[in-house]
A = this chain, B = another copy of it.
């Protein structure tokens, strides 16, 4: 995948709320210096907090690429967006999308991009030359975020750890495995779109051999306990060969996302299962901390929840958004 050129204009389409625009809000949060503004259609109820602008204004402000920041059901590019995306090409922007509908499948966009020499980045397309996993040891330090469920903060936690490591002068790279993470990093492999035979091979490619003091901080996906996605989670766990795992959890959730009626595993049960599975390819693998997304709780309840999990697991427990990940990184650097 050619590198996506920042800075970005974040396209919100007609997203009803911030949840639908979560790719845009994630990029705006983590890469504010790479974003010049947002571009919304009539009826859009979402915002990243960045200034609204047209593609022409964005180009004048230095933008190089329009990023489709919508994560809608089905991953579709709505026909009502085509005119706006076409205008962005004419204004001088490349386009980038992580949706299932490919930009290049829309003739007006494909032809106009070709005519103008612009690039259409399809972020949800994995490399075509992946190999199967080997499971052989490789140098470099690696951390993978894992979870009790989908959408519990695995990307956020990995990005927070990368930032904290770098702030302490440690060489570290966030390794993106999902569309939002790929936009934030500018590169990565959409692990859920890889052909099944190549899941662990893709993770080996994503976080290859590196210097002994360099950390790859790998964005996890799904959960070993999710009935739809556990295969992705296991292949990513095996290919990552991470010495350090960070368990991510959302304590108010009552059922697995997209699996009505199915409860979440307990945090200790999920820790044990991940350590056991990870040790197939990295015998030193250990869950070193728990990252708890307490956004849905008032502060006092959040502190109680975190303290309880710290007692239950005997591990450092933090909410990365409320407290940062200092205690997690303290632990990594004294290992």
Main secondary structure of the interface of A (DSSP, over half): helix
Query: Using a CB-CB cutoff of 8 Å, which residues 230-264 of chain A contact chain B?
Result: 230-236, 238-239, 258-259, 262
With a CB–CB cut-off of 8 A, which chain B residues contact A258?
132
Q: Are B281 and A232 in contact (CB under 8 A)?
A: no
Q: How many copies of this chain does one complex carry?
A: 2
Pick out which of these stretches binds chain B: A36-44, A82-90, A189-197: A189-197
Q: Are B197 and A195 in contact (CB under 8 A)?
A: no
Interface membership of A134, Cβ < 8 A: yes
Q: Are A194 and B192 in contact (CB under 8 A)?
A: no
The CA of A194 and the CA of B198, in the complex, are separated in Å by: 10
In the complex, how many angstroms separate the beta carbon of A126 from the nearest chain B beta carbon?
9
Q: Are B193 and A132 in contact (CB under 8 A)?
A: no
The CA of A238 and the CA of B223, in the complex, are separated in Å by: 13
Report, nearest first, the 3 A-B pairs whose CB atoms are least far apart. A135-B227, A231-B235, A133-B228
> Can you list 20 A-B pairs, Cβ within 8 angstroms, ordered by A?
A132-B228, A132-B258, A133-B227, A135-B259, A193-B197, A196-B196, A196-B231, A197-B229, A199-B231, A199-B232, A200-B227, A201-B228, A225-B280, A227-B280, A227-B281, A230-B234, A230-B238, A230-B277, A231-B234, A232-B235
